[in-house]
Amino acid sequence: MSTKFKSKRAPGMPVGYKDVHDDPLSQALMPPEDESPEDRALRMEKQQEATRISREIDESIQESKKAYEKRKKAIKVLLLGQAESGKSTTLKNFQLAFTPNHFRSERAAWKTIIQLNLIGSIKKLLEVLQDEMDSVPQIKPSTPSISVSRSSSSIRLPGTNLTDNHRRIRMRLSPLISMEAALARKLLPENFDPERSSRDICVRANSGWKTTLERATSPDARPGSSTKSGARRISSRPGTSDTRSRDDPTAVLAACKDDILLLWEDPIVKDVLQKHNVRLEDSPGFFLNDVARVADPNYEPTDVDIVRARVRTFGVEEHKFVLENGTMGATPGSEWYIYDVGGSRSMRQHWVPYFDDVQAIIFLAPLTFNQVLEEDSRVNRLEDSIYLWKEVCSNPLLARSTLILFLNKMDILEANLNAGISVQKYVPSYGDAPNDIEHVTRYFKEKFRAYQKRLSPRQRPFFCHETSAIDTHATSAILIGVREGILRGHLQKMNVI
Ligand SMILES: Nc1nc2c(ncn2[C@@H]2O[C@H](COP(=O)(O)OP(=O)(O)OP(=O)(O)O)[C@@H](O)[C@H]2O)c(=O)[nH]1
Ligand SMILES: [Mg+2]
């Protein structure tokens, strides 16, 4: 009886399946009647392999499903704000506070960025000196005077307090500039644009630029050295020690260190900068006050250096955080996604696709009332931040997202107010209220609060923090509170608490 029943099923088909004579597929799969034992063994082997592959596909679908569910449950935070508002700096603070091991593992990549930042400031400084020299007639110098010098004396150039010694130092520093362009082209080739070479270093989101930098600047990747497989990585030129040191920012900076210090600490140079209205201290990625350290051959960036390094974000970067054990009271293993966007005007259209799936937005609004946008010098930065804030508050896609406002760059606000810069001059509506940090902060905070209240499609609480994102200690305390708040809100929405 059982033999008879078996013969009616295709091999491997469970009991209860349709009779093979009714099912064309089963019929097609039936072994030939004269199947040899070898053919049968081969067929069984193929069948087992097919079953294994099918099981693997099922498992991978299940895993994708699980990952999708996990991602759906994960907390997603979007960092928004204009260019240079401090979004990437806040992200780095987040990494330092909650995934410090990962943060520190990227130190080598940041070292090159910091060196490029420093060279960028020197380049700007040299441009100002050149402008000053060009602004006066180039006639034969006549009035000798003593100034900064390695030699015993120097000759003052006509019409300026700069001397021929400044000109010589400027010449000696010029290899830094050609090296910067070469380095940017080699290390970040897809982002190299000679038209923009005077601007910040720019990296494309999710391009793996940190890995590229780490590989390209590791000792065995320098020109003239070989990889384990014997292939050259960067340059095909013969690797003389001369070419090696000319391409290596650490070696070139070390060779130029004394000259950089001489220029930067020279009171005449400071006067020229002031005359040309250039405050390098306020520009992003400023490391000129740290030359002695950064230009040292054994320089290793500190955590704060990394947080202060400047790289312009281009596009939208996704950062996954799996909180590390023992970090700031975090629940180990919890998953967060933080999206860091490029903030300049041309990049804002890329923000919208991320709006419908985020629990919280951290909006960076620096209180830089006396600065204008780099991309449009007719627009005041603070005015632009308020415009953006209004857009975010009123956007229906964000109606359910928690908004957290960071009034950032409080240190710069304080310095500006201490220097006596009047808020009323730039923001007439401020009137004649006291020009101090307390009143100014309260005034702008209330402005942001009122717009949120007026424009939000549904009521939501106003969360606001005063931050200086380069102060890692203070910022980590704020971020712990923010993380708790977002988590609580998220759990409430999911009805877990
Ligand atoms: N003094 C001071 N500098 C800050 C502060 N926050 C950020 N910066 C600096 O401002 C510069 C710009 O910061 P980023 O975080 O790169 O700005 P971003 O918003 O990511 O800019 P984009 O990527 O161009 O959109 C960097 O050099 C930071 O070190 C702050 O609170 N105080
Ligand atoms: Mg950025």
**Per-residue tokens: 25:** 């597929």
Distance 410 CA to ligand 1 centre (A): 12
Average pLDDT over residues 269-273: 93
Comparing 138 with 255, which gets the higher pLDDT? 255
Query: Does residue 222 belong to any structural domain of this protein?
Result: no
Distance 11 CA to ligand 1 centre (A): 68
Which amino acid residue places its CA nearest to atom 29 of ligand 1?
Answer: 308
Nearest ligand atom owner, CA of 468: 1
Same domain, 119 and 267: yes
Question: For the domain that residue 123 is a member of, what is the CATH number?
Answer: 1.10.400.10
Lowest mean pLDDT segment, chosen from 162-176, 256-270, 362-376, 442-456: 162-176
Start-to-end CA distance of the chain, whole Å, equals 61
Query: Does residue 149 belong to any structural domain of this protein?
Result: no
pLDDT of residue 203: 65
Comparing 13 with 490, which gets the higher pLDDT? 490
Same domain, 90 and 164: no
Contact in structure between 121 and 286 (CB atoms under 8 Å):
yes
Top mutation candidate among 82, 88, 116 for ligand 1, by most atoms within 8 Å of CB: 88
164 assigned binding-site residue:
no
Q: Is 119's pLDDT higher than 90?
A: yes
Secondary element (H or E) of residue 463: strand 463-466
Secondary element (H or E) of residue 492: helix 472-493
Average pLDDT over residues 208-220: 67
410 assigned binding-site residue:
yes
Question: For the domain that residue 478 is a member of, what is the CATH number?
Answer: 3.40.50.300
| Domain limit, last residue, from 293, 313, 333 | 313
Domain total in the chain: 2
Q: Is 229's pLDDT higher than 50?
A: no
Query: Does residue 232 belong to any structural domain of this protein?
Result: no
Comparing 41 with 210, which gets the higher pLDDT? 41
d(CA 327, CA 96): 9
Q: Is 236's pLDDT higher than 60?
A: no
Comparing 271 with 185, which gets the higher pLDDT? 271
Same domain, 259 and 118: yes
Lowest mean pLDDT segment, chosen from 185-199, 352-366, 382-396: 185-199
pLDDT of residue 69: 79
Is the distance from the beta carbon of residue 120 to the nearest atom of ligand 1 less than 6 Å?
no
Same domain, 168 and 299: yes
Read off the pLDDT band of 186 (50, 70, 90): low
- The predicted-structure confidence for 379-430, as pLDDT tens digits, reads as follows 999 999 999 999 999 999 999 999 999 999 999 999 999 999 999 999 999 9
Same domain, 164 and 269: yes
Same domain, 377 and 250: no
Same domain, 280 and 390: no
pLDDT of residue 483: 86
Q: Within its chain, how far is the Cα of 408 from the centroid?
A: 17
Q: CB pairs under 8 A, 24+ apart, for 486-495?
A: 486/75, 486/77, 486/359, 486/360, 486/402, 486/404, 487/75, 489/359, 489/360, 489/402, 490/75, 490/359, 493/359, 493/400, 494/73
Q: Is 206's pLDDT higher than 80?
A: no
pLDDT of residue 418: 95
Share of the chain above pLDDT 90, in %: 50
**Cβ atoms < 10 Å from Cβ of 482:** 21
Distance 470 CA to ligand 1 centre (A): 8
pLDDT of residue 223: 45
User: What are the beta bridge partners of residue 466?
Assistant: 407
d(CA 328, CA 320): 18
pLDDT of residue 87: 97
Which amino acid residue places its CA nearest to atom 8 of ligand 1?
Answer: 86
Same domain, 286 and 365: no
User: What are the beta bridge partners of residue 154?
Assistant: 145
313 assigned binding-site residue:
yes
pLDDT of residue 245: 58
Read off the pLDDT band of 66 (50, 70, 90): confident
| Domain limit, last residue, from 274, 294, 313 | 313
Is the distance from the beta carbon of residue 478 to the nearest atom of ligand 1 less than 6 Å?
no
Same domain, 368 and 447: yes
Lowest mean pLDDT segment, chosen from 190-194, 209-213, 236-240, 406-410: 236-240
Pairing state between β 463-466 and 316-322: unpaired
Same domain, 163 and 305: yes
pLDDT of residue 3: 41
d(CA 215, CA 218): 5
Read off the pLDDT band of 4 (50, 70, 90): very low
Q: CB pairs under 8 A, 24+ apart, for 171-175?
A: 172/256, 172/259, 173/122, 173/126, 173/256, 173/259, 173/260, 173/263, 174/126, 175/246, 175/252, 175/256
Query: Does residue 64 belong to any structural domain of this protein?
Result: no
Read off the pLDDT band of 1 (50, 70, 90): very low
Same domain, 265 and 342: no
pLDDT of residue 23: 79
Same domain, 485 and 468: yes
pLDDT averaged over the chain? 82
pLDDT of residue 254: 93
Is the distance from the beta carbon of residue 88 to the nearest atom of ligand 1 less than 6 Å?
yes
pLDDT of residue 72: 75
Range of the domain at 123: 107-134+158-212+244-313
Query: Does residue 126 belong to any structural domain of this protein?
Result: yes
13 assigned binding-site residue:
no
pLDDT of residue 155: 78
Read off the pLDDT band of 241 (50, 70, 90): very low
Distance 421 CA to ligand 2 centre (A): 28
